[in-house]
């Protein structure tokens, strides 16, 4: 198993006694997870323990299973084997503490709702079955739109928003969930500069509030700037840990194989990270 485990303060106690590496401190523990689509493995024996209160990037080439890893954690794709624990408990127990930003392309933006309606969806669970969205929930939704600089667009139909603005609406919806652990699937994909800044600001804000973020990230150039930790993924975990330790040329080489264009990009990214 080449995956380097990341642990932070074992904390002892809770969790599974049989496996000391799983502690209730860690918001997310992935153990030996394998996922296959039509018998073709996409993730192979993935192990990872996420340290608390960190911004964590999942990085890897196309088809490396980055999104699948997030979806497997959230139970959106069936796991062939392995376990996922949240704060030492099951997903069911932890659900109200988990926020999710799906890929923007995963929904039909021509849907007849406003930006605020979408954000309020993050609070539906708190509202409960059959009850209407009350004024106070709408206020909370507006607050979240404000945090991503989208308050002025609250009553726009969502297809009238630009791609970046749609991404910010998704982020605001996740904020409305008031979670402790956030999964974000390519939050920076195809967004404009203003959105990128807004997202980074929100990420730092979340970190300041003691929350943990795990995001699929495709831009090697900005990994070191935006994130504390990185998981290099290519079907299995090639390396994982603090960006300074793990985000190295040879690890990237291992992750991306011989893809030259990406390697030159990576080299540049490392040069920059080193310069900091």
Partner 1 sequence: MAGGGGSIAVVGDELPGWSEIIETLMFRAGYNTNIVIMGTTLLGLAAGVIGVFALLRKRSLMTDALSHATLPGIGLAFLVGGWMGVDGRSLAVLLLGATVTGVIGVVCIQGILRYTRLREDAAIGIVLSVFFGAGVVVLSYIQVNAASGAAGLNKFIYGQTAAMSERDAMLMGAIAVVAVVATVLFLKEFALVCFNESFARVNGWSVSAIDLIMMGLVVAVTVAGLQAVGLILVVAMLIIPAVSARFWSERLWALVVLAGLIGAASGYFGSVVSALMPRKPAGAVIVLTSGVIFAISMVCAPKRGVISAGVRRGMVSLRIAGEHLLEEAYGRGESGGRFALTSREISRAVRIGVWSVVFGPVVRAGLYWRRLARRTRDGIELTEEGVRQGARVRRNHRLWEQYLVSYADIAPSHVDWSVDQVEHVLSDELIRELETQLGARGIVVSDGVGVAR
Chain residues that interact with partner 1, rule: CB under 8 A: 38, 71, 74-76, 92, 95-96, 98, 100, 102, 106-108, 111-114, 117-118, 121, 124-125, 127, 129-133, 157, 173, 177, 192-194
| Nearest to partner 1 of 130, 260 (CB atom) | 130
| Nearest to partner 1 of 193, 260 (CB atom) | 193
CB contact at 8 A, 197 and 148: no
- For the CA atoms of 57, 58, 62, 65, what is the dihedral angle to 10 degrees? -160
Structure tokens at 122: 């993050």
Measure the CA–CA gap between 245 and 149, rounded to whole angstroms.
34
Minimum CB–partner distance for residue 3 and partner 1 (Å): 25
Minimum CB–partner distance for residue 98 and partner 1 (Å): 7
114: Cα within 13 Å, side-chain hemisphere = 14
| Nearest to partner 1 of 112, 210 (CB atom) | 112
- For the CA atoms of 232, 236, 241, 246, what is the dihedral angle to 10 degrees? -50
Minimum CB–partner distance for residue 221 and partner 1 (Å): 11
DSSP assigned state of 18: T
Minimum CB–partner distance for residue 43 and partner 1 (Å): 18
Minimum CB–partner distance for residue 179 and partner 1 (Å): 10
| Nearest to partner 1 of 12, 75 (CB atom) | 75
CA distances from residue 178 to 86, 97, 119, 124 in whole angstroms, order as listed: 16, 7, 12, 12
Minimum CB–partner distance for residue 92 and partner 1 (Å): 8
Structure tokens at 134: 């009350």
| Nearest to partner 1 of 44, 124 (CB atom) | 124
Measure the CA–CA gap between 243 and 58, rounded to whole angstroms.
11
| Nearest to partner 1 of 36, 113 (CB atom) | 113
């Amino acid at each position: 198993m080449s995956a380097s485990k990341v642990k932070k303060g074992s904390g002892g106690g809770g969790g599974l006694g049989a496996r000391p590496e799983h502690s209730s401190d860690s918001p997310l523990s992935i153990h030996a997870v394998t996922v296959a689509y039509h018998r073709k493995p996409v993730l192979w024996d993935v192990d990872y323990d996420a340290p608390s209160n960190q911004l964590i990037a999942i990085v890897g080439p196309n088809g490396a299973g980055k999104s699948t890893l997030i979806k497997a954690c959230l139970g959106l794709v069936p796991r062939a084997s392995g376990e996922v624990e949240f704060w030492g408990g099951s997903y069911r127990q932890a659900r109200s503490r988990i926020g999710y930003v799906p890929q923007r392309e995963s929904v039909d933006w021509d849907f007849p709702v406003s930006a605020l309606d979408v954000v309020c969806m993050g609070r539906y669970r708190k509202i409960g079955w059959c009850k209407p969205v009350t004024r106070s929930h709408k206020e909370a939704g507006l607050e979240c739109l404000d945090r991503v600089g989208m308050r002025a667009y609250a009553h726009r139909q969502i297809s009238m928003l630009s791609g970046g603005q749609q991404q910010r609406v998704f982020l605001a919806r996740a904020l409305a969930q008031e979670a402790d652990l956030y999964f974000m699937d390519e939050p920076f994909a195809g967004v404009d500069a203003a959105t990128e800044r807004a997202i980074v600001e929100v990420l730092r804000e979340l970190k300041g509030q003691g929350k943990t973020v795990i995001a699929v990230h495709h831009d090697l150039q900005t990994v070191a700037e935006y994130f504390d930790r990185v998981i290099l993924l290519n079907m299995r975990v090639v390396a994982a840990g603090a960006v300074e330790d793990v985000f190295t040329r040879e690890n990237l080489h291992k992750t991306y194989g011989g893809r030259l264009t990406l390697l030159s990009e990576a080299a540049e990214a490392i040069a920059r990270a080193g310069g900091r």
